[in-house]
Amino acid sequence: MNLGIRAILYTVRKWKKTLLIFCLLLSITTLTLSGLAIADAQEEQAEEVRGTTGASFTVERNLSTGGWSNGSDGTYSTQEFISEDMIKEIASVDGIAGYDASFILMPFFYDETGKALPATIYSFFTYGTLNSEYSELFLSGRFELVEGSHITDEMTNGIIISRELAEDNGLKIGDMITGVCYPENNTPEVEMELVGIFDVVADKDDQVNMYDASSYFDYSDYTFCSMGAMDKMVEGWGDDEIEEAYFYVSDAAQLDNVIEEVKKISSINWNNFNITANDEVYQNISSSLSDTGTLITTLIIVITVVSMVLIILILSMSVRSRKREMGILLAVGIAKPSVILQYVLETALIAVVAFPLAYLSSRQVAGTLGTLFGKAAENVVVTSQHFALVAVVGSILLIIAVIVSCIPALRFKPKQILSQME
């Protein structure tokens, strides 16, 4: 009887024992696979958390390398402005989630009947913006969009106003508003469509704000309009252009790398512009976040090591209980290597079924346990790489475990083994 048949027969006839070892192998492999998947999920989740910290960098004109000129309203810098092409080029760098740039004017607005919208103070504090979603006022939570949509760089004539202004003047989404910058100079009238309405969350009465031009306007008189509309309002008048642009990265940990990439853009003369990183929130939480990461990684390492130890323990126990059998096999003249091979083969037979099944079950385990306790587990995904890793390492471990457990018994002669038994 060759060893293959012997192995199969043993596995089939001792089916209860086979089943037990099979279940053990299945459980432990499932544990390891789930562990690996969890480690990856943690990585992803931490990246997501970092993404929510609003880490950004600001590109602004470098006034120190530019020239200065004197005009009617004092000294001004002649440094080049930030062009929209330049912004688009920077925004196309990998890792940038969003961007905004704006310049501010204080135009007057008229509704469809030609009636001027009343402003609390003089006129409206208006941001010509590319992506209002990424405006500091919205990001910081001072304003909150409650109706309609944000202004994007694809819109050419959108405008967002405060709820107060909309309600006081009976304006609703889709209405047209006409903006004029300097009516006394007959600057162009620009038609804009009301695309969004925001709520003021912040307390403007808080005097902490009082140090710049924006402080003198009521929050309800803040408006955001498309960059295109803004450009048209001052066509041929003045040189109001973009002085600062904000770029938000998707992973705060990559901020430095993204900035490095941006600095490599050769079409921009970086001598004329400064880049500043803003990642205060990320800096605050980064150490705690990496603590969590370390803890989970350690947990997974512990799980993996424990799994290995368990497999070795179980196999050595199962092989050691077969000492008598080993003695008989040796006594009937079967060579030691072929005895070992038989045992390895038996284990392999079980593993061949247990491993793929563990792959399937581990894909279920995390999800099932998650939903059982009402926690989401979308990120925990067992990939085929995990499986390949576990299958290869597991197989090697199994073979070593069997061989090592056989050594004590195989050192003896069959007679010694058999006489040693009770």
Please report how close the Cβ of residue 342 comes to another protein at its closest, in angstroms.
17
The residue (of 309 and 388) whose beta carbon lies closer to another protein is: 309
- 30-49 positions binding another protein, by CB under 8 A: 30-31, 34-35, 38, 41-42, 45-46, 48-49
Q: Which stretch binds another protein (CB under 8 A): 171-179, 232-240, 293-301, 409-417?
A: 293-301
Q: Quick one: how many helices (H) and strands (E) in the chain? A: 12, 13
The residue (of 194 and 319) whose beta carbon lies closer to another protein is: 319
Question: Which of 125, 217, 127, 233 has the alpha carbon at shortest distance from 178?
Answer: 233
Total interface residues for another protein by CB under 8 A:
90
The residue (of 177 and 358) whose beta carbon lies closer to another protein is: 358
DSSP state letter for 92: T
Binding mask 188-217 for another protein (x = CB under 8 A): -------------xxx-xxxxxxxxx-xx-
The answer to the question of residue 69 lying near another protein (CB under 8 A) is no
Question: Which of 329, 322, 413 has the alpha carbon at shortest distance from 1?
Answer: 329
The answer to the question of residue 58 lying near another protein (CB under 8 A) is yes
The residue (of 321 and 419) whose beta carbon lies closer to another protein is: 321
Q: Please give the helix or strand (H or E) that residue 162 lies within, else none.
A: strand 158-162
Please report how close the Cβ of residue 130 comes to another protein at its closest, in angstroms.
16
Structure-token match 């804009």, residue found: 192
- 107-136 positions binding another protein, by CB under 8 A: 136
The amino acid present at 216, given as its one-letter code, is Y
The residue (of 177 and 303) whose beta carbon lies closer to another protein is: 303
Please report how close the Cβ of residue 277 comes to another protein at its closest, in angstroms.
6
Distance (Å, whole) CA 398 – CA 357: 17
Q: Are 82 and 101 in contact (CB under 8 A)?
A: yes
The answer to the question of residue 276 lying near another protein (CB under 8 A) is yes
In the beta sheet, which residues pair with residue 158?
193
Distance (Å, whole) CA 41 – CA 37: 6
In the beta sheet, which residues pair with residue 99?
247
- 303-332 positions binding another protein, by CB under 8 A: 303, 306, 309-310, 313-314, 316-318, 320-321
Within 13 A of 335's CA, how many CA atoms are on the CB side?
Answer: 5
